[in-house]
Amino acid sequence: MSIPPPNIVDFEIKETLLCGPGPCNLWPSVREALTKPIISPLCDEYFKALDDIRTGIKYVFQTKSNLVLAISGSGHSGMETVITNLVGPEETLLIANRGIWDERAYNVATRYGIKIIVHRIAHNTTFTLEELERQIEVYRPTALFITHGDSSTGTVQKLEGLGDICHKYGTLLLVDTVVSLGGVPFFMDAWGVDAVYSSTQKALSGPAGISPVAFSARAAEKIKNSKHKTPFYFDITLLAEQWNCYGNTRYYHHTLSPPLVWALRECLRQLSIETLEKSWERHAKTTRHFHERVQRLPLEFFVPNPEHRLATVTTLALPKGYNYDDVIKYVEEKHKITIFPGRGPTADKSLRIGIMGVNSTGAVADALADALADALQALVKSSL
């Protein structure tokens, strides 16, 4: 043996209140669900769990479509599935860019020979439907990619009406709802969204690793008639057979992770019990309260227009003289709350604070506001 066994020493993991842009803490029942037995992928319980997940996903996306399932992988796997199944090489993808997820969509699409048009705006704002229509009218792309909630900037994009605009020009509408689903209203069918993906570790308060996706009838038709090859692992036609989307197949495509299947099922069960309306209301109320508290501190919103602010992630600029890393470290060490620095457009310009899922409560909002106030007071002497 040339490689000896490593001495992997167990260590204690400290738990904090996760108030970055994700991951978020787990619902207690989701934590329990993760320890449910590993079962055979050929038994009735397993089929029932997948069916429950599909029903739950239809509810959270608000769609009657049957092409609804979960991809094994984090949010990026949903992104890659949606893009590669709907846009072939030499076809055009218009990317509405206002943060790093749109950059990621660019990175994914370029790997598959897709032609890309990028339309950019300032990162602290959102697109008007008129400007998006102008771009679609000029470029007539196969699809438009847009992010609903952007966790790198803390903005929420208005989508209502965008589907109709896209369809007028034969364009499909692809939407990232990773950090918005469950926390902000979203209506796949009513808004004419053709493909949507999300993830579990944000407002659904689950573990990352399994990502809901859904495709409209228009998107399903495009996939049926497509000639291009999609990545095997993300081939929605094969996955639809595994997930029994059309009610007559239970094929094996790959081994799903049972703990993640149980966890996603529980996230969706939680949300169904609470109801979407109540969850959206809870997120709006908590964040409104947090923003009211923040307004009394010398912090500035990175997103000036309150209507463009995302309920799940708030981006806040520190006053001059403060160091972002010092504030983040102080809040974590003294208050056991994890917040994140800016990323991409917000790097060194803003904190990213997520209040979502199980953490969307008045108590968490107060704890965060108290921790920030304390950090600003304690650090001012050393850093100014």
Between residues 243 and 340, which has the closer beta carbon with respect to ligand PMP?
340
Residue nearest to ligand PMP (CB): 75
Q: What does the alpha-carbon distance between residue 221 and residue 287 come to, in Å, rounded to a whole number? A: 40
Between residues 49 and 210, which has the closer beta carbon with respect to ligand PMP?
210
Q: What is the DSSP string of 160-175?
A: TTHHHHHHHTT-EEEE
In the complex, minimum distance from the CB of residue 338 to ligand PMP, in angstroms, rounded to a whole number = 14
Could you list the residues that contact ligand PMP (CB under 6 A)?
Answer: 21-22, 74-76, 101, 147, 149-151, 176, 178-179, 199, 208
In the complex, minimum distance from the CB of residue 236 to ligand PMP, in angstroms, rounded to a whole number = 18
- Partner residues linked to 300 by β-bridges: 317
Residue 171 and residue 143 in contact, taking contact as beta carbons nearer than 8 Å: yes
According to DSSP, the β-strands at 143-147 and 68-72 are: unpaired
In the complex, minimum distance from the CB of residue 150 to ligand PMP, in angstroms, rounded to a whole number = 6
From start to end of 163-312, where are the E strands? 172-176, 195-197, 210-215, 300-301
DSSP state of 6: P
Between residues 158 and 228, which has the closer beta carbon with respect to ligand PMP?
158
Count of Cβ atoms closer than 10 Å to residue 36 Cβ: 16
In the complex, minimum distance from the CB of residue 141 to ligand PMP, in angstroms, rounded to a whole number = 20
Between residues 342 and 379, which has the closer beta carbon with respect to ligand PMP?
342
Instruction: For the chain, report the end-to-end CA distance as a whole number of angstroms.
Output: 57
Nearest to 198 by CA among 111, 113, 312, 286: 312
Between residues 191 and 322, which has the closer beta carbon with respect to ligand PMP?
191
Between residues 66 and 199, which has the closer beta carbon with respect to ligand PMP?
199
Between residues 63 and 199, which has the closer beta carbon with respect to ligand PMP?
199
Distances (CA, A) of 363 to 48, 289, 359: 37, 10, 9
In the complex, minimum distance from the CB of residue 162 to ligand PMP, in angstroms, rounded to a whole number = 17
Between residues 22 and 192, which has the closer beta carbon with respect to ligand PMP?
22
In the complex, minimum distance from the CB of residue 127 to ligand PMP, in angstroms, rounded to a whole number = 15
In the complex, minimum distance from the CB of residue 82 to ligand PMP, in angstroms, rounded to a whole number = 11
Phi, psi of 150 (to 5 degrees): -105, 115
Cβ within 8 Å of residue 1, ≥6 positions away: none
Between residues 60 and 178, which has the closer beta carbon with respect to ligand PMP?
178
In the complex, minimum distance from the CB of residue 109 to ligand PMP, in angstroms, rounded to a whole number = 14
Distances (CA, A) of 117 to 103, 111, 192, 350: 12, 15, 22, 28
Q: What angle do CA 36, 39, 45 make, to 5 degrees?
A: 90
Nearest to 313 by CA among 17, 19, 18, 60: 19
Distances (CA, A) of 57 to 213, 247, 292: 8, 16, 33
In the complex, minimum distance from the CB of residue 66 to ligand PMP, in angstroms, rounded to a whole number = 25
Residue 369 carries which side chain, given as an amino acid letter? Answer: A
Q: Is 218 annotated as a binding residue?
A: no
Nearest to 343 by CA among 164, 96, 90, 150: 150
Annotated binding site for substrate: 352
Annotated binding site: 352
